[in-house]
Amino acid sequence: MAVARAARTLAAAGVEAARAEAELLAAHVLGVPRGRLALAAGLTAGQLDRYAALVARRAAREPLQHLTGSAGFRHLELAVGPGVFVPRPETELLAGWGVDQARLRPGGAPSPAEPGCAESPAAGTAARAEPPAAGAAEGDAAAEAALGGPLVVDLCSGSGAIALAVAQEAPAARVVAVERSPAALAWLRRNAADRVAAGDRPVEVVAADVTDPELLSGLTGRVDVLLCNPPYVPRAVLVPPEVAAHDPDEAVFGGADGLDVIRPVLARAAELLRPGGVLGVEHDDTHGAVVPALLAADGRYEAVEEHRDLAGRPRFATARRRREAVPVGPGHAEEAGGARAWQTGSS
Ligand SMILES: C[S@@+](CC[C@H](N)C(=O)[O-])C[C@H]1O[C@@H](n2cnc3c(N)ncnc32)[C@H](O)[C@@H]1O
């Protein structure tokens, strides 16, 4: 009864999946999975009060994940709240592509004994590959060589969704997560610590601005897989109340055309990737042509592809770093005053 009433309240407030969210909140209050709600005892008086308060906050368009304190992402439950971007289901596609790419690299396939091989979401809680040696965070080639697996970098890591999914599902990979916001970094470090406690290989967290031309300078030419879900919404776009009031501005908006972070990331990624290394970058659904065009124009990428989400919208672009010597795109040659007009594919 309480759930039906809550669903009506949420629907009237403009919440799209009102019934599902009313059930999820009830399950949260009862401490049971949503699928077991029908079997759970009814809400006590105290629980009813708590439920009513949560429903009122959701009706005021606070994100569901802020109310429950967690967001599901692939096989993970991530802690989220004020100050960090709530990971979205569509980004699971980019993360999955990254997992597949990491597993394809030499030394990247998990052995049958490793949890990353298993299909089930419960996988990933047993012992993992050796963590990197202390101090191996940036540019420690010896540590990288000793570990053998692919090097994966997640730029604009937020809660750590992509980085931690790769660490769980491609356990042979060394994963580096980069984030600039102090508030987001706190959530990222908390989630990373939780995953280590659960048995995953540690992710290396780096506090940095991904638009810095010197980003991760110690990893130049060594990255196998580079993933990025940057802020990409054009400034003038109206976003739902949950996003406008609760996702950090710097996590959502990418300047006037939405490409302020994407442009420098594509340029720096071409330097960080090893020849044959791959890049995957999520973008606004209006950028299904422009991001592949930027990749093609750079000149250092090949095999540029656009990927759609389950709703058929353009969602992320991928490309491979060329192996051969290539002309750097016109913009780069100009920026460098022509000094770097040509760059070898091997570094
Ligand atoms: C769309 S969110 C993606 C978060 C996470 N990767 C995910 O998929 O859920 C973008 C993230 O990029 C961070 N960010 C924005 N500009 C940045 C910059 N210049 N350098 C580093 N991080 C940045 C934001 O703080 C935010 O956490």
- Asked whether residue 49 falls in the same domain as residue 104, the answer is no
Distance CA 261, CA 280 (A): 14
Whether 230 lines ligand 1, by a CB cut-off of 6 Å, is yes
Indicate which residue's Cα is closest to atom 4 of ligand 1: 158
Whether 68 lines ligand 1, by a CB cut-off of 6 Å, is no
- Asked whether residue 234 falls in the same domain as residue 107, the answer is yes
Domain boundary pick from 60, 77, 101: 60
- Asked whether residue 104 falls in the same domain as residue 217, the answer is yes
- Asked whether residue 148 falls in the same domain as residue 212, the answer is yes
- Asked whether residue 266 falls in the same domain as residue 143, the answer is yes
Selection from 155, 142, 75 nearest residue 115 by Cα: 75
- Asked whether residue 168 falls in the same domain as residue 312, the answer is yes
Domain count, the chain: 2
Whether 185 lines ligand 1, by a CB cut-off of 6 Å, is no
Whether 54 lines ligand 1, by a CB cut-off of 6 Å, is no
| Per-residue exposure over 81-98, b if at least 16 CB sit within 10 Å of its own CB, e if not | bebbbbbeebbbbbbbbb
Sign (positive or negative) of CA dihedral 185, 294, 305, 225: negative
> CATH code at 130?
3.40.50.150
Residue carrying the six token digits 């491979």: 320
- Asked whether residue 151 falls in the same domain as residue 259, the answer is yes
Whether 254 lines ligand 1, by a CB cut-off of 6 Å, is no
- Provide the domain limits for residue 317: 91-343
Q: Which of 76, 80, 180 to mutate to test the pocket of ligand 1 (most atoms within 8 A of CB)?
A: 180
Mean pLDDT of 218-222: 97
Does a structural domain hold residue 293? yes
Mean pLDDT of 100-123: 64
**pTM (predicted TM-score):** 0.86
The per-residue pLDDT for range 138-175, each reduced to its tens digit, is 445 555 555 679 999 999 999 999 999 999 999 999 99
The per-residue pLDDT for range 311-341, each reduced to its tens digit, is 999 999 999 999 976 665 554 443 332 223 3
Domain boundary pick from 13, 40, 60: 60
